Amino acid sequence: MNSKEILIEQLDPSVAFGVHNQNLKTFQLHFPQLKIIGRGNQVILQGKASEIDLFEEKFEHMINHIEQNGGITSIQLEMILSGSLGKEKNKEENKNQGDQGDVLLYGNHAKVIRAKTPNQRKMVTLMDKNDILFAIGPAGTGKTYTAVALAVRALKNKEIKRIILARPAVEAGENLGFLPGDLKEKIDPYLRPLYDALDDMIPPEKLKLYLETRVIEIAPMAFMRGRTLDNAFVILDEAQNATDLQLKMFLTRMGPNAKFIITGDLTQIDLPRKSMSGLVKAIKILEGIEGIEFAYLSFEDVVRHKLVRNIIKAYDNSIDNLMDRN
C-alpha cells in the first residue's frame, strides 16, 4: 500500500475541505479504494499509486478552481471529478467571470480580496516596487483594507515574519481618561478598523494565535518608540493625526527587510489647531526620495455605499466654494 501527503498552501484548508469536510467526503465517494484523511493543512492518502495519482490530479484541479473563482459549488466539484469540467472549459469560465489579476488573496469563506479600483491597483503596484508607500485619500476608499491585504499576502507568502499595525490614539472629541477599562480597553476602539480587516482575511483561530504570539501586533503608535521593526510589514493608519515628530519617529523605526505603508485622510485631521499634521509635512519633504512613493485616492475610489461617494464629493465642492468666497 502506498501513502502520500498533499500540502495545501496559499489557501485556507477549511475552504479546500469544504464545510464539515464536505469536499473531502465527495472525493471519498469517487475514490472508495483510497483512505483519505484531512489533517491541518494536509491531505493524507493511502492506497494504490494509480488511484493516488488520479486523486492528486483532481484535487489540484479543484484547488486551482477555488483560487481562480474564490470558491466551488458541489455541482462544479462533481463536474471536476467526473471529468465534464475540463481545464480548458474552466479557463473559459474564468474569462467570463472577469479578470482575476487584481486578486490579492482569498479570505475567510473563500472571500475574494482584491484591488477594486485603479488607485487601489496603483497602491499594489507601487508597494511591489518600493519599501515605503503613502496612501492618501478620503474615508471609504479602501486605503486601510488594501494595505492590510498586502500585509497578509506578504505574511502568507513568507516574505516577512510579522505584521505590525499602528494608529495614533488621538482623542477625536473624546477624553480617553474618562473611558472605562484599562489602557488596552481604552485604545482598542481606535484600532477596531484594523481588527475588522484582519477578520475578513484570516481564520479566527489562526488570527487569535497570531495575535497571542505577536506574529501580528496591533498597537498605538506611541508603542513603536525605541524599536527597530525588521522582517515586518508595518502599517500606520490615520497618519494625519500623527505630529511631525511622531511620524519621523515612526519612519525611522524601519529595519532590514521591512515594508511600510502610511495611510491618511487630510480632510479628517483631529489634532489640536496649533499642531501641524506630520502627514502634511511628510508629503512636502519626502516626495522624490527613491524607494518612497505616494498613491492618491479620491471619491471615485469609494467602495462603501454609493452615497458615500456623493457625500465626499459634496463636501469637497463645499470647501472649494468657501475658499473661493474668501
Q: What is the pLDDT of residue 12?
A: 82
Average pLDDT over residues 224-246: 92
Contact 238, 187 (CB under 8 A): no
Neighbour count for residue 259 (Cβ, 10 Å): 23
Based on the structure, what is the number of domains in the chain?
2
Torsion angle, CA of 261/262/263/267, rounded to 10 degrees?
-160
User: In CATH, what number is assigned to the domain containing residue 310?
Assistant: 3.40.50.300
Range 148-179 burial, b when 16+ CB lie within 10 A, else e: bbbbbbbbbeeebebbbbbbbbbeeeeeeeee
pLDDT: is 196 or 315 the higher one? 196
**Cα distance between residue 116 and residue 264, in whole Å:** 19
Per-residue pLDDT of 42-81, as tens digits, reads 999 999 999 999 999 999 889 888 876 667 888 888 888 8
C-alpha cell at 251: 519612519
pTM equals: 0.66
Contact 271, 280 (CB under 8 A): no
Same domain, 110 and 153: yes
* pLDDT reading at 170 higher than 90: no
Picking from 100, 115, 138, the residue at the C-terminal end of a domain is 100
Same domain, 59 and 154: no
Average pLDDT over residues 109-131: 89
Picking from 76, 100, 124, the residue at the C-terminal end of a domain is 100
The chain-wide mean pLDDT, for the chain, equals 83
Residue 186: which pLDDT band, with cuts at 50, 70 and 90? low
Domain carrying residue 27: 2-100
Picking from 81, 100, 119, the residue at the C-terminal end of a domain is 100
Q: What is the pLDDT of residue 263?
A: 95
Strands (E), the chain: 2-7, 35-39, 42-47, 103-106, 112-114, 132-136, 162-167, 216-220, 232-236, 258-264, 292-296
42-47 sheet: strands from edge to edge: 2-7, 42-47, 35-39
Average pLDDT over residues 179-204: 74
Per-residue pLDDT of 268-323, as tens digits, reads 888 887 778 999 999 999 989 999 999 999 878 877 666 777 787 787 777 555 44
Same domain, 169 and 284: yes
Contact 308, 124 (CB under 8 A): no
pLDDT: is 126 or 191 the higher one? 126
Contact 39, 94 (CB under 8 A): no
CA 230 to chain centre: 20
* pLDDT reading at 167 higher than 90: no
Q: What is the pLDDT of residue 119?
A: 92
